[in-house]
Amino acid sequence: MSLLFTPMKIGKLSLDNRIIIAPMCQYSAEQGKATAWHRIHLGHLALSGAGLMILEAAAIETEGRITPQDLGLWDDVTEQALAEVINDVRKYSSMPLGIQLGHAGRKASTDVPWRGGGFLAASQGGWQTSAPSALPFNDSHEAPQAMSLARIEEVKQAFIDSAIRADRLGLELIEVHAAHGYLLHQFLSPLSNQRDDQYGGSLENRMRIVLEIFRDVRRVFPANKPVGVRISATDWVEGGWDLQQSIALSQALEAIGCDYIHVSSGGLSPQQQISVGPGYQVPFSESIKQAVSIPVIAVGLITEPEQAEAILTEGKSDAIALARGMLYDPRWPWHAAAKLGAKVKAPEQYWRSEPHEVKGLFKQ
């Protein structure tokens, strides 16, 4: 039997299989509000047969957006817009839905990727960014404001408020975004965090805000719904955040009730030197899996069903997340099930599409 298509639990949430649709920013919201694009995009992927879909990063406040077009979950208006989309998706799919909550920090106020992703000054529709220290992401960005303790408390409260909204939306999982060079990752890395207070300096201090925000979200999100954390296992820069620190963070998160760790890498510094290749981040998930007992999710250039199956059978992760690969092939779970001799959920309207050579592919 295929391990990829074996059911699993994340916390108390049951998944039909171990394929997870990773959060993918669409940069298609209007003032934080989900649009018809999200209805099409999420509805499309909710029919894929994956075990879980985690919605794209939702900004917890307007200043936390990567671009002006980012999805948000910071007020009643953004909550209602997302509720309308989710309600439509739910009519035709029973796939569990989660959401990633994040803040871009010094990587905020940029243009959408297909227009180059450059920094947007206030005159271009951008805004003043904030970060652990007043260090810009690169030479073309304006310096962020170093966050005061009062500002840190505001951000922590914004995570709490967004988590409460996520529960009201009926979402079944929250992923705290502490990866890819965004705000919480900026606190973790000594390259971007040069504070001399309780949030800077030692590893314990640099991890503090991530642990505090996790505790806050866990406290307000129902106990039967999992809360996990996405991390970048390394900055890929000497002297930056690295695997050993990621293991320490993962163990600290597990100790306070974290339900899973989603392992990515990079994004903090333009100086990063990444050796990209198939499954290039899997060694990080493998090392973290050996250090914790909670589920670990691997992601990063995992494109082939046999490759995903091998990662699981070799004990390198507990689940496989796909992002760009799922955009390229939104029926990836169907095709994986056909190759691996497994069954997968599909909507009744599509049952007639089952190829003759794989009859019995769809669960009915």
Catalytic residues: 182
Question: What are φ and ψ of residue 188, in 5° steps?
Answer: -70, -40
- Within 8 A by CB and 6+ apart from 309, the residues are 2, 3, 4, 340
Q: Are 330 and 31 in contact (CB under 8 A)?
A: no
The per-type count for the chain, helices as H runs and strands as E runs, is: 10, 14
The closest of 306, 322, 311, 309 to 289, measured between CA atoms, is: 311
Cβ atoms within 10 A of the Cβ of 348, count? 9
- Tokens at 126, concatenated: 């951008």
Radius of gyration of the chain (CA): 20
- Tokens at 42, concatenated: 């999420």
Question: What are φ and ψ of residue 339, in 5° steps?
Answer: -70, -35
